[in-house]
Amino acid sequence: MDFIELPKIRSYKPGHHIVKYIQEKMNGYFMEVYRIEDGSIYCYFKKRDENIWPKVRHLSFAENILSLPNGTALLGELHCPGVAATSVITLLNDKDKKLQYSPFALPVYNNESYELWTLPEAELQLNEHGFLMPMYETLYPHQELSEYRCKVLKEEATNKGIEGHVLKFSHLSHWYKLKPTKTVDAFVVSHTVSESITFYGKLKAFQVAVVDSNGGHRIIANVSSGLQHDFKLTCNPKDYYGKVMEVSYQDVAAKGKLQFPQFERWRDDKAADKCTEDQFI
């Protein structure tokens, strides 16, 4: 069986794209599952550089995979409820049975292509093998989502503790991601400089921190994205030590570092000692 051509997942922009399905997205790793014609099973993350089935076979949902007919492919997400995506690899290596697999799509089943299946049809077939799809909503007819609806979906994701939503035009085409943006106030404690030939010695990123429970500080990110190019070339970074910035991010990794941090604005109205780690509670 050949690899499935993966749907390209783009960011959703209200008023630009038409969708039919709204599907919840967990905090995990995208994982493909293949059961080929001779019964062998292959599981891959996106890089497809290692068959991780020898590790997956020890997990609680392995029996579901073993029940699939030969000539079947699944696209889904390996995750653990309440745990950051960055911990999934560790849990997999530890063969932690709390890991779950939630299929998003069923491209091939029993050597037949099901690209044109509706999502409910794919879900019904997967349920017969013990798999549960992430919760979804079907829009009749296909719709463009308003900015207000997108805001509501982001708030729902935050309240449920999930990464966001995948919006689909169909079972296997035109997938879009919609994720909430979180913010935290942090203060500058250090910086790094560029080592490239063009910008050598100029500001590369600010290292920012929050006050921890012991009154010290905990470094949470290196912030470069969002800072203007001209600012990086002309500023004296040490002039900004102790200043507070608002930082947006996607999630907090297992070691407490921010995922995809981005500078939003300077907070001249806030003191560094007010930037405490309880912002993450």
- For residue 237, give both structure tokens: 């970074």
Rounded to two decimals, the pTM is 0.73
The pLDDT of residue 167 is 95
Q: Domain ends where: 136, 155, 178? A: 178
The pLDDT of residue 144 is 93
Residues 203 and 132 in one domain: no
CATH of the domain at 214: 2.40.50.140
Residues 173 and 58 in one domain: yes
The pLDDT of residue 265 is 92
Q: Domain ends where: 152, 178, 204? A: 178
Residues 146 and 86 in one domain: yes
Domain housing 92? 19-178
Residues 146 and 210 in one domain: no
The pLDDT of residue 98 is 93
Residues 190 and 227 in one domain: yes
| Residue 98 placed within a domain | yes
Q: Each residue's pLDDT tens digit in the chain (281 positions)?
A: 678 888 888 888 887 789 999 999 988 899 999 999 999 999 999 889 999 999 999 999 999 999 999 999 999 999 998 887 778 888 999 999 999 999 999 999 999 988 888 999 999 999 999 999 999 999 999 999 999 999 999 989 988 888 899 999 998 889 999 988 888 999 999 999 998 887 888 999 999 999 988 889 999 999 999 999 899 999 999 999 999 999 988 778 767 889 889 999 999 989 999 999 888 76
Residues 174 and 246 in one domain: no
| Residue 201 placed within a domain | yes
CA distance 30 to 45: 6
The CA-atom distances, in angstroms, between 191 and each of 188, 201, 208, 217 are 8, 11, 9, 15
The pLDDT of residue 1 is 63
| Residue 11 placed within a domain | no
| Residue 264 placed within a domain | yes
Amino acid 211 reads V
The pLDDT of residue 192 is 95
